[in-house]
Amino acid sequence: MRAFAVMLLFVAGPALAESLPWPERPVVANTPQLKQIIAEDAQLQQLAEGFRWSEGPVVEPDTGDVLFTDVPQNTLYRWSETDGLSVYLQPSGYTGLYPDNQLQEGANGLIFNADNQLVLAQHGDRRLAVLLDATTQPPQYQTLASQYQGKAFNSPNDLVQHSSGAYYFTDPPYGLKGGDASAEKQQSVNGVYRLGADGSVTLLITDLTKPNGLAFSPDEQWLYVANSDPDAAEWWRYPVHQDGSLGKGTLFFDATAHTKTASGLPDGLKVLPSGVLLATGPGGVWVLSPEGEHLGTIQTGVAAANVALNADNSWLYITASQYLLRIQLAP
């Protein structure tokens, strides 16, 4: 296993600040309401660096440690407040199920399910899988879903679990060399799917070009889906029906114009108990009200991929390009 050089603690100082891609005051407020969510003088802390593309952060319930992936390196890392950075799983998402897969990328999105098991959206193996044993080499995974109507998924990207036990997940082609043009692509659409508690797979959304991050509203009445297409950089909102199906989606926020001036696209997101969205997008992490108002942005200076909240929502963890970052939220 190969670990990357890391900087485990952020040390404030003028020389270091000048070398970092984000501004000294990264929080930009569009409305006074933002201060209820994050202080305008809140600082980004660099926890680790040196990754090719950091993704999928999740806070482990029992320890408070942050698990996250380096997708191109097929590696999953653990960051601990006391012990710093370590390799946790390798391989994380490509174990050889598709030997012709030229990218052989690792896991992307991660969650802990209702049974406190780690569930991974595995790009290279083109499946949702649950971790059975992290102590073996290679780690042991069990497939939850790998195909729809007899055809392999593109490359499952992000996932959430509903209180019913069902998983909802996105399936863009980012894990395939050539993307939509790849000869390995078997699904005709880049869909959003539901994996029911009975093992059935249902295709829910077919008309988003690059569905990516997703999250439920606190009452599970809505499913938010990010579309990471530079020509349609959008967040959509879908009503969730009692049977688990989705109603007609509506455009929640269109950030396409902002992609011309800032790096990053709508990608991973989380929703606070208040209903406020913390969503990676052009320039960093966007703070959006439940009504779709852009309250402000946490500027990361590089493309931000995904976010995670700790148990009491006091810290927001951010994977952004080569970094693992965090910022303190308002009490």
- Exposed / middle / buried, residue 218 (Cβ in 10 Å: 0-12, 13-18, 19+): middle
The stretches in the chain having pLDDT less than 70 are 1-18
**Cβ contact 109:88 at 8 Å:** no
Among all chains, which residue has been given the structure tokens 């890392």?
77
d(C-alpha 304, C-alpha 270), whole Å:
13
Which pLDDT score, from 0 to 100, does residue 19 have? Answer: 83
- Residue among 158, 190, 145 at smallest CA distance from 279: 158
Where b means 16+ CB within 10 Å and e means fewer, 137-168 reads eebebeebbbebeeebbbbbbbbbbbeeebbb
Please provide the distance, in angstroms rounded to a whole number, between the alpha carbons at the two ends of the chain.
40
How far apart CA 118 and CA 98 sit, in angstroms, is 22
The pLDDT assigned to 101 comes to 84
Q: Which bin fits 125, alpha (ψ -120 to 50), beta or left (φ > 0)?
A: alpha
pLDDT attached to residue 100: 86
